[in-house]
Structure 1
Amino acid sequence: MTTPGTVPAAPVPEGVTPALDVRNIVKRFGGVTALNHVSMTVLPGEVTALVGDNGAGKSTLVRCLSGVHQPDEGEILVDGKLQTFHDPSASRHAGIETVFQELALSDNLDVASNMFLGRELTHGPTRLFRLRHKEMETEAQTVLARYGIRMPSVRSTVRELSGGQRQGVAIARAVGWGSRIVLMDEPTAALGVRETGRILDIVRGLAERGLAVLLISHNMEQVHSVSDAVWILRGGNMVAGMRTADTTTSEIVHYITTGQGLT
């Protein structure tokens, strides 16, 4: 088991406040400890990868950060401020948006409507509202262009889109609301080579625009090509965190399988 404070990790640069600072998070389900004093940092303007085998605790940690689960112990700081997430809306209010593997898009609605789903722009009182479609389309086009996310049209229905384009809609919806931290759970799963490349370009572009991105992935080549830092979970324990440039794919895999680095 990992003892709190003993995980090898690259230091946070002097003068930099982590966008996301996770400290000694514990999450239990009955008698099972899914997360055991897990700590990690995600810096602004960087892609941070979170890796680990199935059952390592990655999804549980993401659900704690997105407000779906509440930790039993530990602290979550956003931009240096302590936060408590009783539900997903509290996480979003703090500036965290999550793109889950299940994209939660509505196939029968167009791109713009999906980007504003649940946050529609309206005219008039609540009971007699009219949607401001033109404004939503204009804003959707602006967000897509800002982050280099290509779509046939903001009026295209989601059912007409490819898997990569659907992922692009989900990402645009996440970043279009002023979020500073984006959590992405396996965004390239089930995508072809070309679409995977486009999504990774988008992920990298988010960081270049100052956002903090936490990328959950099983693909070590992708992790090494797109991330600035990598954290490794094993059996609910955070066994290592390091700058990606200071490690190798072989070492990351060794940490995942044994909990120890190469000697």
Structure 2
Amino acid sequence: MEQASAAHAPGELILRLRGVGKKFGAVTALEDIDLDVHAGEVVALVGDNGAGKSTLVKVLAGVHQPTSGTIEVQGKAVTLDTPGKALELGIATVFQDLALCENLDVVANLFLGHEISPWRMDEVQMEVRAWTLLQELAARIPSVREPIASLSGGQRQTVAIARSLLLEPQIIMLDEPTAALGVAQTAEVLNLIERVRARGHGVILISHNMEDVRAVADRIVVLRLGKNNGVYTAETSHQELVAAITGANENAVSRRAARKLEEVDQG
């Protein structure tokens, strides 16, 4: 099956959601969601627990089908009724658990299910392609024959992202890619996200870490209680983002910021 190509002009609209909703029985998980993703940009999806981020990711990944609204890829209305259909249309997802096989090496994980000449396993060509892709991403992987079990958290995240890029997707969704990583490993993954953006892919980044989001995101889309609650940029203050996420203008963060401003004025 032919995969969608990632070759787009920078800024070209790839994905457009309008009025997307999802109900589970009497429970409304998403309501009237609008979202745009362009080529060569990182869109961060943020919100509190229960805001609908995971549901929206699963809708775009073809795991859940929306109960209302439209999804367009490159201007054409599409139905993402299976994960395979989402991949075919160029939407790849790297979930938080990464789904890597720890006993297999990097090459085997990259091509798992998509082996070159699977009946005779063209190991040489797969190894060359693996090295080429990892070098393009400036990945810090000691060897493509290294078993996943011996890699750090950041290196594992790199392998998972590289695996999704092998199919040349238009959009990559990253679910909490820096969760449980140290400072150095987090920086490594954020650098990788920037390199993926530079390749012309659209990136949807789901994260709870506002510093990570503001470091790489071109736009920050806030979800609250299953609805859109504003679109912001990296220049938006931490206080304003927290207010949008929590729905409260008056909270511990805003009070602390106000006290600091008062101290500066009085000083």
Verify same fold: TM over 0.5: yes
Partner of 1:140: 130
When the two chains are superposed, the root-mean-square deviation of aligned CA atoms in Å is 1.7
Question: How far 1:209 sits from its partner (Å)?
Answer: 1.8
Question: How far 1:243 sits from its partner (Å)?
Answer: 3.1
- Stretches (4+) displaced over 3 A: 259-262
Partner of 2:59: 64
Partner of 1:149: 139
Distance 1:93 1:259 in 2: 41
Q: Is the 8 A contact 2:11 2:41 kept in 1?
A: no
Q: Is the 8 A contact 2:11 2:40 kept in 1?
A: no
1:188 aligned onto 2:183: no
For residue 131 of structure 1, give the secondary structure of its aligned residue in structure 2. Answer: coil
C-alpha change, 1:90 and 1:260, in structure 2 (3 Å) is farther
Q: 1:177 aligns with which of 131, 156, 167?
A: 167
Highest CA radius of gyration, 1 or 2? Answer: 2
1:38 aligned onto 2:27: no
Moved more, 57-66 or 142-151: 142-151
Question: How far 1:244 sits from its partner (Å)?
Answer: 2.9
Distance 1:234 1:109 in 2: 40
Q: Deviations over 1:74-105 (max 9, x none)?
A: 11111222111110010000011100001110
For residue 53 of structure 1, give the secondary structure of its aligned residue in structure 2. Answer: coil
Q: Deviations over 1:13-45 (max 9, x none)?
A: xx9542211111110111100001111111211
Question: How far 1:259 sits from its partner (Å)?
Answer: 6.7
Q: 1:78 aligns with which of 49, 73, 78?
A: 73
1:1-263 correspondence to structure 2 within 5 Å: 16-122=11-117, 129-245=119-235, 247-258=236-247
What is the TM-score when the length of structure 1 is the normalising length?
0.88
Distance 1:142 1:17 in 2: 27
C-alpha change, 1:178 and 1:238, in structure 2 (3 Å) is same
What is the TM-score when the length of structure 2 is the normalising length?
0.87
Letter of the 2:196 partner, please give it. L
Distance 1:52 1:260 in 2: 15
Percent of residue pairs identical: 47
Partner of 2:262: none
Structure 1, unaligned runs of 5 or more: 1-14, 124-128
Partner of 1:11: none
Distance 1:156 1:239 in 2: 44
Partner of 1:6: none
Moved more, 186-195 or 171-180: 171-180
For residue 196 of structure 2, give the secondary structure of its aligned residue in structure 1. Answer: helix
Count of aligned pairs between the two proteins:
242
Distance 1:165 1:16 in 2: 29
C-alpha change, 1:46 and 1:260, in structure 2 (3 Å) is farther
Question: How far 1:218 sits from its partner (Å)?
Answer: 0.4
C-alpha change, 1:102 and 1:54, in structure 2 (3 Å) is same
Question: How far 1:130 sits from its partner (Å)?
Answer: 1.9
